[in-house]
Amino acid sequence: MGIFELMEKHGHEELLFCYNKPTKLKAIIAIHNSTLGNAIGGCRLWRYKSEEEALLDALKLSEIMTYQSAVADSDTGGGKAVLWKDFDGETDEAYFRAFGRFVEGLKGRLITYPDLGTDTQEMKYIKRETSYVLPYESATGIKAESADLTAHGVYWGMKACVKEIYGISSLDGLNIAIQGVGSVGKRLADCLKKEKARLIVTDLNYDSIKDVQDKYPDTLVLRPDEILSAKCDILSPCALGPVITRKNFHQLKCRIIAGAAYNIVEDVKLCQKLFEAGILYAPDFVVNAGELFLTEDALKVLSKEEALDSVKKIYNIMVRVIAISKKENISPYEAACKMAEERIQRVGTVKSILC
């Protein structure tokens, strides 16, 4: 499939291929939909196997960001930047500053922030060449960590799901299996243990598991290939997607799926199968939207406390998603997409008014 065919299939407005030979920078910036506002999307650095894999990741993730922004009632569009690291050795200041120059050239069409493979240090390099980087510190210098907000968003999304399945939003005594206890997963574990949930965890990194087990000795540790078939109330994928596939779908022994990973489900058609099987799948772009609450009105900096408090909105959003799902007998994923598309369409009708 050609590039324009892919753009048409996913509904994209713009694709930018960025190359800088001296720094070995190869980047793809995808802007999916800017009806609600300038696109916001993370900057992901990854060793993709091919150019095609990098492109498809940029397309899929930017599309998800459009839906995430719309459902979260944000006045932002969906975008994504992927940096394809196809060389050995470390990336340096010049590498990220080169990328910053390309972001600056878009004049605000994309506003970026740290994602998988990048952190605040890389953002500081990028910000030396462009102002279109989300701020991560309040005026008082209190840092609002993206991982904190994402974890809290998943936590509130879980509570809405538990309310639907068990009639009470408390997580006390529930068995919750976390796949991946990295920066987000370990923070989610903290949220869950405050409500006395029972943890089941796995990770490819032993040190990450040990950190959680040292803090919570009653944690049950499973091998990565055991987590999907673990008998639990909630399965929480917090690593790389896709997680639920046609091959492993029948292994699931959970009532709820709610996690921080993107592309949790391999194929959206599986969302309907989960629905028919009585498994409540909280759409990834709904419950992992916490990072959007780093800002208010696009770029007004919030304190950590304000940001964490605003993330509670995800509970109410998930309640609305479930209500539409039940009323129209459609999967929660389809319900969330419908909510997003209706908002984009309605807001789009007023954009033709000149002012």
Catalytic residues: 80
Q: DSSP for 37-82?
A: SSEEEEEEEE--SSHHHHHHHHHHHHHHHHHHHHHTT-S-EEEEEE
Please give the Cα distance from 314 to 306 (Å, whole number). 14
Beginning with the edge strand found earlier in the chain, give each strand of the sheet holding 175-179 in spatial order: 220-221, 198-202, 175-179, 234-237, 256-257, 280-281
How many Cα atoms sit within 13 Å of 253 on the Cβ side? Answer: 10
Q: Are strands 280-281 and 220-221 parallel, antiparallel or unpaired?
A: unpaired
Please give the Cα distance from 13 to 30 (Å, whole number). 8
The residue behind tokens 């509970």 is 315
Q: Which two tokens stand for residue 111?
A: 């506003």
